[in-house]
Structure 1
Amino acid sequence: MRYAQPPPTKAATAVYVTLTAQVLSLGALVLFELTRADRLAEQLAAFGGRPSGADAEAVVGAVTLFAVLIMLLAGTTIASAAAYTTWLVRARQANDRTASPRPVVLAWMVPGVNLLAPALLLDQVWRAARPPLEHRDRWRALLAAWWVSWLVMLALVVVRLPLDSSGGLTGAGVPELVAFAVSAVLCAATVRTVTRVQCSHGAELHVVPRSAQIPPAPESAPIGQAG
């Protein structure tokens, strides 16, 4: 008898929602950067960083909007990270209810290890769900595409943005938005693939009904006829 938790369909939905919110918040920030950031940076420099007077009202409003966009992006990033971690922990426990969440945390948090371990861990979850063998190559292609897109997006944020001298407030632009959107879509696709495989085998993860576990009691012989 195999005991496990149900497939994490609700947790998967949370991943889709939070990733969508993160892409939209980054898109709003990039739009602000493209349309207002350069001018705002010049105005702040002209005011010495402390705008005052009636002419500065527009600047204060733009600064407030920028701060809100930054907080939205930070909030959706935290939410999507929490949703994905929750889903991955529950997906592992859907295969084995005794699975510890520790490998998930270590795979993502240990520097250097997090450049490869998360993809390997997800592949392990997929294989443990016993998918059809003919889907192996398609899964590998999807997993590789997601992880490469994630590394490209990470490189743009960690390497390109600090070296970018084109101006603006954060430096985020269309390349970062496109890279993140592609990575988010592929990430959602991997989550959906694993969840669907687990759902297709969900019947095998349920406890056998009691009627099937306990054999029927033997029939009693009529009184006086026991032999």
Structure 2
Amino acid sequence: MFAPSPDTTTPTEPRVARPGEDDLDIALGIFLAQRTRLFRIAYRILGDVSAAEDVLQEVWLRWQLTHRVEINNPAAFLTTATTRLAINVVQSARLRHETPAEPQLADLGDRAAQDPMVCAERTVAVEAALALLMARLTPDRLAAYVLRKGFDYAYADLAGLLRISVQNARVVVHRAQARLECDRERPVPAESHRRLVAAFRTAASTGDLEDLIRLLVPGSHVHRLLSPA
């Protein structure tokens, strides 16, 4: 059974199933109530409509197979499942020849006067994308990648920050992209992740990259962001 497309009329707030009353109609109602929000989260991570739809189909299938009477917060469960699946799909083989195998950082910045729900969705996407980058990239590649892909930072400026040649700056970004195709990951300290997310969101919303650059490359030396705080 496939989840209806986004233009399907969203039902009123679904009732939560009680033990012994969990059925597919109730599960569908819960899913439809969250579908548009889940799609936006997946799209902001993937930057591709078709890929986001595929993620939602997988979330729907998993939701059907889940023992739902044990889920106290269906919205949180579905949000977490969508975020994790979108991150995995970024690196999947079926995307590598169709869309960039990387989070779409340039599309994740905050904008002024946003609806609170949209801000919350974008925050989830930013947190997910940066967690993936921190888990898979070395500090120098993380700095180069975030500044280049998130803010279109010039290679000449990257070279100055990292104290390398312009050609080597290009190589660092290229190697960061290649490294994202590997699924080997390191643990990401929660506080380091929190600080990077906050700095990224400030830079995206204000256009002032000073704090982000200071965090990534203080003193023009790559900061060991992945070291425990």
Give the TM-score taking structure 2 as reference length: 0.23
Structure with more of its chain in helix, by fraction: 1
Larger radius of gyration: 1
